[in-house]
């Protein structure tokens, strides 16, 4: 099913890849000298220029070094005389134009198919062909009613973290994702050039009947990983309930203390509103295990719909695992399962990374409030 057919479920969002303006370069250099911190510089940039992503650390360093060496971070040779640049010759311009016509989606500056240096390729596409690279971002489409529900959860979590600095350490948040034999659409590798101001129409087809594993994993704010648990069929409410009782519960009992009545002490459980999660028996079982400390649909604290950008499973876990699992295509389902287990074990051995991912929920909820309930994808954990 192509992305354009997903209606209210998902939409493709096109991001124009742009360079820093002179004002932005000056702001980056000045802020870094004032704070001495890359992260504070990026945070300040995000507040000053909310319409674009903050520059990477290497970009900040490059501008700071240039200022230290030359007294400015601006290219003072632009439009001035100097060594004649031969890269932008008519032959090279024609070669780049032909490459973009024949391979519109698998051509990047580094893998441009012309043999030209990436810098030359970028200059030709930008200055001579007036083309810009665009990347696709997948996100759930939101309406005003979704904004309001996202704001409720975001404000609640912020207040909870202010009242209890250890709140996220006692949070377990789980989710399912499909791992198919033929891999996934790696959107960060999908690049298309288009004229300035004319975003391309992205369309990718997926085979819904492909061989796959459905995998459930849980991340604990204290650093533990629960799972993985595998399903070859769709996850319905009964299978989800059986997984909680037979698989999840024993692992939680290894790491967290339960009260005499059976309810876990301090522990919170969070899940999205997938149909399997809404079964009445599932809801009742979660209340037996966690009392009123459940964040989900049909509970006192609701997890808002269409909000994977607020959960570490959505903004960190699945992308992290799939980038490692699908480095090369797996031969069969057995090999695919083995790779998933291997990468989950590696993540389990890095509790600091798991803690950092869960703690990223607070920053994302703060951004969600700043944006009136809007999307916060693209922000790091």
Token representation of residue 180 = 């198919």
- pLDDT for 10-26, tens place per residue? 444 444 444 788 888 88
- pLDDT for 198-216, tens place per residue? 655 555 444 445 688 999 9
Token representation of residue 362 = 């607070």
What is the Rg, in whole angstroms, of the alpha carbon atoms belonging to the chain? Answer: 24
Question: Are residue 105 and residue 159 in the same domain, yes or no?
Answer: no
pLDDT of residue 292: 93
Question: Are residue 103 and residue 165 in the same domain, yes or no?
Answer: no
Question: CB-side exposure of 258: number of CA atoms within 13 Å?
Answer: 14
Cβ atoms of 289 and 264 within 8 Å: the answer is yes
Q: Is residue 60 part of a domain?
A: yes
Token representation of residue 10 = 């998902």
Structural domain containing residue 74: 3-138
Q: Is residue 376 part of a domain?
A: no
Q: Tens place of pLDDT for every residue, the chain, 381 residues?
A: 333 333 334 444 444 444 788 888 888 888 888 888 888 888 888 888 877 888 888 888 888 888 777 666 555 555 454 555 567 888 888 888 888 888 776 677 777 788 888 888 888 888 888 887 765 555 556 666 778 999 999 999 999 999 999 999 999 999 999 998 876 544 444 456 666 656 555 554 444 456 889 999 999 999 999 999 999 888 899 999 999 999 999 999 988 888 766 899 899 999 998 899 999 999 999 999 999 999 998 898 999 988 888 999 998 999 899 989 998 889 999 999 999 999 999 999 999 999 999 999 999 999 999 989 888 865 444
Question: Are residue 160 and residue 39 in the same domain, yes or no?
Answer: no
Question: Are residue 224 and residue 166 in the same domain, yes or no?
Answer: yes
Report DSSP letters for 112-123, one per residue.
Answer: -SS---HHHHHH
> Last residue of some domain: 138, 164, 185?
138
Question: Are residue 206 and residue 229 in the same domain, yes or no?
Answer: yes
Q: Is residue 97 part of a domain?
A: yes
Question: Are residue 189 and residue 84 in the same domain, yes or no?
Answer: no
Report DSSP letters for 181-230, one per residue.
Answer: TT----GGG-EEEEETT----------TTS-EEEEEEEEETTS-EEEEEE
pTM of the predicted structure, to 2 decimals = 0.61
Cβ atoms of 240 and 279 within 8 Å: the answer is yes
Which residues 6+ apart lie within 8 Å of 201 measured at CB? 4
> Last residue of some domain: 138, 166, 193?
138
Q: Is residue 286 part of a domain?
A: yes
Question: Are residue 90 and residue 190 in the same domain, yes or no?
Answer: no
The CATH number assigned to the domain holding 315 equals: 3.30.420.10
pLDDT of residue 16: 43
> Last residue of some domain: 83, 105, 138?
138
Which of 81-90's residues contact partners 24+ apart within 8 Å by CB, and which partners? 85/123, 87/116, 87/117, 87/119, 87/120, 87/123, 87/124, 88/120, 88/123, 88/124, 88/127, 88/128
Count structural domains, the chain: 2
């Amino acid at each position: 099913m192509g992305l354009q057919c997903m209606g209210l479920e998902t939409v493709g969002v096109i991001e124009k890849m742009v360079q820093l303006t002179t004002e932005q370069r000056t702001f980056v250099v000045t802020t870094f000298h004032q704070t001495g911190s890359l992260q504070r510089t990026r945070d300040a940039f995000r507040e000053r220029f909310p319409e674009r992503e903050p520059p990477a650390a290497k970009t900040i360093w490059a501008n700071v070094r240039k200022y230290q060496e030359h007294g400015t971070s601006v290219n003072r040779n632009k439009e001035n005389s100097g060594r004649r640049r031969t890269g932008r010759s008519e032959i090279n311009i024609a070669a780049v134009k032909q490459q973009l016509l024949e391979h519109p989606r698998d051509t990047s500056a580094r893998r441009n198919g012309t043999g030209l240096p990436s810098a030359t390729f970028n200059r030709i596409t930008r200055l001579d062909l007036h083309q810009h690279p665009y990347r696709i971002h997948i996100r759930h489409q939101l309406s005003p009613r979704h904004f309001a529900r996202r704001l409720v959860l975001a404000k609640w979590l912020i207040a909870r973290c202010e009242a209890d600095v250890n709140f996220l350490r006692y949070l377990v948040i789980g989710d399912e994702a499909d791992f198919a034999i033929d891999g996934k659409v790696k959107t960060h590798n999908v690049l298309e050039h288009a004229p300035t101001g004319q975003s391309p129409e992205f369309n990718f087809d997926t085979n819904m009947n492909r061989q796959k594993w459905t995998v459930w994993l849980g991340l604990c704010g204290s650093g533990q990983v629960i799972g993985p648990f595998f399903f070859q069929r769709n996850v319905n409410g009964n299978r989800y309930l059986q997984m909680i009782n037979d698989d999840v519960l024993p692992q939680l009992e290894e790491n967290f203390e339960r009260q005499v009545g059976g309810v876990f002490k301090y522990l919170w459980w969070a899940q999205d509103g997938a149909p399997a999660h809404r079964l009445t028996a599932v809801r009742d079982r979660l209340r037996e295990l966690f009392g009123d400390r459940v964040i989900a649909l049909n509970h006192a604290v609701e997890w808002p719909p269409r909000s994977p950008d607020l959960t570490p499973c959505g903004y960190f876990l699945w992308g992290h695992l799939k980038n490692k699992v699908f480095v090369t295509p797996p031969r069969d389902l057995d090999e695919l399962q083995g790779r998933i287990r291997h990468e989950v074990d590696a993540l389990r051995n890095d509790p600091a990374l798991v803690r950092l991912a869960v703690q990223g929920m607070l920053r994302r909820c703060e951004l969600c409030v700043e944006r009136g309930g809007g999307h916060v994808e693209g922000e790091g954990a």
